[in-house]
Structure 1
Amino acid sequence: MSQRVRDVLVVNRRRQELVTRILQDPSLRLSLVTEPGCLPDYPDTAGMESVTLVENVQNLDEVRHATLDLMNRYTFDAVVGPAESSIPTAGYLRSYLGMPGIPFDVAHAFCNKNAMKARLRRAGLTVARCTLVPSAESVGPFLRKHGLPTVIKPAWGDGAANVHVVRDESDIAAISRPDGPLLSNDEAPFLIEDFVEFEDEYHCDGLVRDGEVRFVSVSKYTRPPLRGKGSVFGSHTLPADGDEARELAELHGEVVRAMGLSDSVTHLEVFRTRDGLVVGEIACRPGGGGIPQTLRRAYGFDVWEHFLATELNRPLEWTPDAAEGIFAFLMFPVRPGVVRRVPDPDVFADFPEVEKVDIKIGPGARISGMLYSTSMAGMAHCRVDSVDRIPGLVSALEKRFVVEYEDDEPEPRPEPTP
């Protein structure tokens, strides 16, 4: 007896991982809702059942009308939103249509940082003091009222993109300009948060089923994402039986309960301060950078496969299979400019700790636009036998991996010998 083909509505800008997996599954039929400027990112629209363009995937009413029109032809079994830009919209459609999956109020709280912090604070969890900035004109006055130093960021967004530290009046003047780094890249509302002085930053990546955390991996950043821009940046797993990992796993469970999440994967950011742990942010989607590959190598956990299974509301049997060692990924940064030379893939051939190297750019690549914490020239996937080995390895690989740009000053040539 053949399996029934299920119609899946995907609301998405540019995230491709789930789109690729759905297109490869013969039991699924994909209908896409995206924006005109994002369409060139899709290599296989011919394999889709339908493609609908909207001006903004975050416009709930526009996407609702587009979906109702599609429902004249299709009976959708699931709605999928793979990134912050579309997770709330997918939740809204599920709530509006009475479909299974993350409902709108929960999806919205995971993606609107102000709503997220309010929910966590009400549950008694420690988060940074914050202020919502309702309009672009209010940025300067609200920063002064909140007090410095502080961090300002879009209320909607992911990664460390367009996140700025504001320390003094000159920073306020720069951030408040319409053509400045904040307002030229995003629209209000913005969120102001106390600048948290912390010692270490962690991420917890989990699987939640029926409201229970079925799996969680705890990792520590080699450098905090906000500080890691422009330098080698990544993270490494922590031994699951250690006190550090157990403490963070317990906090992860408390955050999941506070957010009201029933079924999804999670990516939680946590700071360790002198006064204890402070919750940064949590997402109900896979972490970025090398996190998915690290989870697969360390535990056999395919985080995108499990995310898709929760989005489709279908069971997926899996048991963690922890491999020996400490697993790490390191991303080597890029900067604006035209690339002249990148290292060869065998740049770390003499480092047995490096199991794989992915080179992401090549000579002639033009780097421009907003750079994220995950913008990179290449990535190294490593395994060591102890957490103590990580700092030395990071330092050695950072010195070895050098990207040259067309505008770099040429190295001085030695004077000829008389």
Structure 2
Amino acid sequence: MTSPPPVRDVLVVGRRRLELVNRMVQDPDLRLSLITEPDCLPLYPPVAAVELVDNVQNLDEVRNAALRLMNRRPFDAVVAPAESSIPTGGYLRTYLGLPGIPFDVAHAFCNKNAMKARLRRAGIPVADSRLVPLADSVERVLRAQGLPAVIKPVWGDGSANVHVVRDEAELAELTRPDGPLLGSSAYNEPPFLVEEYLEFEDEYHCDGLVRDGEVQFAAVSKYIVPSLRSMGSVFGSYTLPADDDAARAVAELHREVVRAMGLADSVTHLEVFRTRRGFVVGEIACRPGGSGIPRNLLRAYGFDTWEHFLATELNNPLQWRPDVADGSFAWVMFPLHRGVVSRVPDAGVFADLAEVEEVDIKVKPGERIAGTLYSSSMSAVVHCRTDLPGDVPDLVTALQERFTVEYETPVPVS
């Protein structure tokens, strides 16, 4: 009689990214301990042990919390499922001698200044950039860079608190102590990164699987609208065939970036711009892409990004081959605005469109939308399939004409 596998003790460090935790609590072979912040704890399912910290990015605070948890039982692995906790997870692995992404690599993936410096040294094309060490240097560094320019926190998640500064009026607004950059959140604080504003029309993402330092799988998609221009409008992306010229170029760039970043095992999400001077790398993450991307990759290739991410975090190799489906797969995310929702179309509004295969409506009449809205804030997401990638833009236009959420009274930013 075969004995059951031993239970593995896993430490999870994170804020609000729950996809992995919700999977892990269903696995009887895993026993979870958690380090999170007080306002995030109510979001989590029950786990074996919990330690609370003021900030999951504070390495000293999290290390001491981890040692208190280890005083009860040792850990076999550390899982850090979000941008905000990936460097902390890497630090704990390095400190405790555990397998997985080490601190230097995790830090380079999440600190945008360190990332760009590493890529620049490897000869990979990135935007020119300057570091803003303190808040009172924002105006000086922006002027030195020249307008228009882009400014973002060095430690940031996705498109949160990314600003394009086009002229003197926007510069004055941004540099106010209570303005959109400095006064928006305790997590959006110096240092900042100022980058040249790249003129481009097309933006792509490449999502991959890396094992033993080699890219085992990579899929390239094109954004419907570049992410910095998508706030308040329809957003999404669609898959490109592997033999598409742009897909080939982006996939090769992805391979070079993975090598330069020193990544051994994880999933990746790379952002690339097509400019007049060629393809330029925006950023790369060693975690699954957000919004509708994981679902789209699962439908198009059978690639479960969260399953593979968890396997790499736990050092459990998966035997997997892509199952490429016919057509181009798209996800289309409809915007969310502040206010009280008065009317929402139902899913039947797309019933006669054969390309629409899944509809997920996120809001309902009477719901009050307030506070900070992010690039991932949505009123609905639709998953579609077309015969060719070139069919997607016309389909998006048809979807926009049919799905409009109406609001009563605007709600001020809080």
Regarding TM over 0.5, the answer is yes
- Say if 1:128 and 1:194, in contact at 8 Å, map to a contact too: yes
Number of the residue aligned with 1:251: 253
Verify the 8 A CA contact 1:161 1:370 in the aligned structure 2. Answer: no
After TM superposition, give the deviation of residue 146 of structure 1 in Å. Answer: 1.5
Contact 2:132–2:194 (Cα < 8 Å) also in 1: yes
Which ranges of 4 or more aligned residues in structure 1 deviate by more than 3 Å? Answer: none
For 1:88 and 1:366, locate their aligned partners in 2 and report how far apart those are by CA, in whole Å: 35
> Secondary structure of the equivalent of 1:24?
coil
Contact 1:233 1:330 in 2 (8 A): yes
Name the structure 1 match of 2:229.
227
Correspondence 1:141-290 to 2 at 5 A: 141-185=140-184, 186-290=188-292
Q: Which amino acid aligns with 2:306?
A: W
Tell me by how many angstroms 1:219 deviates: 0.1
Amino acid at match of 1:407: T
CA distance in 1, matches of 2:101, 2:202: 31
Structure 1 position 199, deviation (Å): 2.1
Q: Which amino acid aligns with 2:375?
A: S
**Alpha-carbon distance in structure 1 between the residues aligned to 2:323 and 2:386:** 18
Work out the CA distance in 1 between the residues paired with 2:370 and 2:343.
Answer: 17
State the secondary structure of the residue aligned to 1:346: helix
The CA deviation at 1:400 is 0.6
Which residue is equivalent to 1:412?
A: none
Task: Find the partner of 1:294 among 292, 296, 314.
Answer: 296
1:315-354 per-position Cα deviation (integer Å, ceiling 9, x unaligned): 1110001000100000000111111111102220010000
Report if aligned partners of 1:237, 1:326 keep a CA contact under 8 Å in 2. Answer: yes
Where 1:329 maps in the other structure, the secondary structure is: strand
- d(CA) in 1 for partners of 2:35, 2:366: 33
Work out whether residues 114 and 191 of structure 1, in 8 Å CA contact, stay in contact via their aligned partners in 2. Answer: yes
Q: Which moved more, 1:162-171 or 1:189-198?
A: 162-171
Secondary structure at the counterpart of residue 220 of structure 2: strand
Compute the RMSD of aligned alpha carbons: 0.9
Secondary structure of 2:200 counterpart? coil
User: 1:368 maps to which residue?
Assistant: 370
Residues 220-258 of structure 1: CA deviation (Å, up to 9, x unaligned) = 000001101111110000011222211111110000000
Residue 82 of structure 2: aligned partner? 83
Shift of 1:362: 1.0
TM-score normalized by the length of structure 2:
0.97
Aligned equivalent of 2:10, options 8, 11, 14: 8
Aligned residues: 405
Q: Secondary structure at the match of 1:69?
A: helix
Q: Secondary structure at the match of 1:138?
A: helix
**Aligned-partner SS, 2:35:** strand
Distance in 2 between residues matched to 1:109 and 1:365, nearest whole Å: 40
Letter in 2 for 1:146: Q
Aligned residues: percent identity? 70
Give yes or no for contact 2:270–2:284 (8 Å, CA) kept in 1.
yes
Q: Distance in 2 between matches of 1:33 and 1:39?
A: 9
2: CA distance, partners of 1:219 / 1:348: 24
Query: What's the CA shift for 1:374?
Result: 1.4
1:100 aligns with 2:102: no
Give 1:161 shift. Answer: 1.5
Contact 1:149/1:168 (8 A) holds in 2: yes
8 Å contact kept, 1:265–1:284:
yes
Aligned counterparts of 1:202 and 1:342: Cα–Cα separation in 2: 31
Unaligned runs of 5+ in 1: 409-418
1-structure distance, mates of 2:176, 2:269: 33
Cα distance in 1 for residues equivalent to 2:194 and 2:367: 35
Deviations along 1:261-282, one digit per CA (max 9) or x if unpaired, are 0000000000001110000000
Which deviates more from structure 2 when the two are superposed, residues 331-340 or residues 263-272? 331-340
Question: Which residue does 2:347 correspond to in 1?
Answer: 345
Asked if the contact 2:211–2:265 (Cα under 8 Å) also holds between the matched residues in 1, the reply is yes
Equivalent AA in structure 1 for residue 262 of structure 2: G
Indicate the residue corresponding to 2:116 in structure 1: 117
Work out the CA distance in 2 between the residues paired with 1:7 and 1:168: 53
The gaps in structure 2 that reach 5 residues or longer are none
Q: Would the aligned equivalents of 1:223 and 1:233 in 2 still touch at CA under 8 Å?
A: yes
* Partner SS state of residue 219, structure 2: strand
Other-structure match for 2:309: 307
Name the stretch that deviates more: 247-256 or 141-150: 141-150
Question: Which residue is equivalent to 1:135?
Answer: 134
State the 1:17 CA deviation: 0.5
Letter in 2 for 1:130: S
CA deviation after TM superposition for structure 1 residue 259, in Å: 0.4
SS class of match (1:120): helix
How far did 1:69 drift? 1.2
Distance of 1:373 and 1:56 partners within structure 2: 23
CA contact (8 A) 2:201 2:226 kept: no
Letter in 2 for 1:309: A
Deviation at 1:37, TM superposition (A): 1.0
**Aligned-partner residue type, residue 220 of structure 1:** K
TM-score, normalised to structure 1, is 0.96
Q: How does 1:10-49 map to 2 (within 5 A)?
A: 10-42=12-44, 44-45=45-46, 48-49=47-48
Cα separation, 1, equivalents of 2:240 and 2:192: 34
- Give the stretch that moved more between structures: 140-149 or 395-404: 140-149
- Cα distance per residue 1:275-305 (max 9 Å; x no partner): 1000000000000011000000000011000
Alignment map for 1:394-405 (pairs within 5 Å): 394-405=396-407
* d(CA) in 2 for partners of 1:242, 1:280: 21
Counterparts of 1:142 and 1:241, CA distance in 2: 42
Task: Provide the secondary structure at the position in 2 that maps to 1:289.
Answer: coil
**Contact 1:36-1:55 within 8 A present in 2 as well:** yes
TM-superposed deviation, 1:407? 2.6
